[in-house]
Amino acid sequence: MPVTTFDIPPDLLNFIDDLVRTGAARSRREIVVRALEIFVRLRAHRWDGPLIFINGVRGGLMSRGSVAELLSGLSDNELYAAGRRMGKTLKDLSIQRGLDLSRPESHTVALQMLEDFGWGRFTIDEKRITVTAPFLPAAVTQGYLETALSMTLNRVSTSEDINVFERSALKEVRSEYSKPAGA
């Protein structure tokens, strides 16, 4: 790997050294490389002042409390329906990237995009999708994932800050994006 040298302002260098000293990272190099990887993954070079773009999508930051207030008073059915409507946006973004989210091999990429958006940490296997530290209520996330990934999910009741959705073997959801041409 090529060696690169550059000046770092003293206040940033002190911050980096504090992170190393407290064990948040092993070295200055680790912090700088990790920061650059995140910069690239989130496409931070496209940010324009107060405008934030993540994976090519303009976003805005909102606290979890503000989201809770926005969604308060909605029933589980209304939250689920809102998630179903919202899931179309990930399908649209994926089409722009040449991804077909109805295909299981694209699901990991889709879930990584949601992680990048701050929705939680996603894991997926043949039987379930798990979201740890979810940002949105389970009903919203379930509706969103069902539409975005063209599948039916069953919510598993949990007592922790985790959402577990089992894939339904009964039927896969077919959206207007996953119909064969001319259908």
What single-letter DSSP state applies at residue 116?
H
Task: Using alpha carbons, select from 181, 182, 183 the residue that is nearest to residue 100.
Answer: 181
Task: Using alpha carbons, select from 55, 94, 122 the residue that is nearest to residue 102.
Answer: 94
Range name among 3-17, 37-51, 70-84, 114-128 with the lowest pLDDT average: 37-51
Encode 12-42: b = buried (16+ Cβ within 10 Å), e = exposed: eeeebeebeeeeebeeeeebbeeeeeeeeeb
Distance of alpha carbon 21 from the chain centroid: 31
> Is 36 found in the same domain as 68?
no
C-alpha Rg value of the chain to the nearest Å? 20
Within a domain: 98: yes
The number of domains in the chain is: 2
> Is 121 found in the same domain as 75?
yes
- Predicted model pTM: 0.72
pLDDT, tens digit, 9 for 90 and up, residues 113-163: 899 888 999 999 989 999 999 999 999 999 999 999 999 999 998 878 899
Within a domain: 51: yes
Range of the domain at 27: 10-59
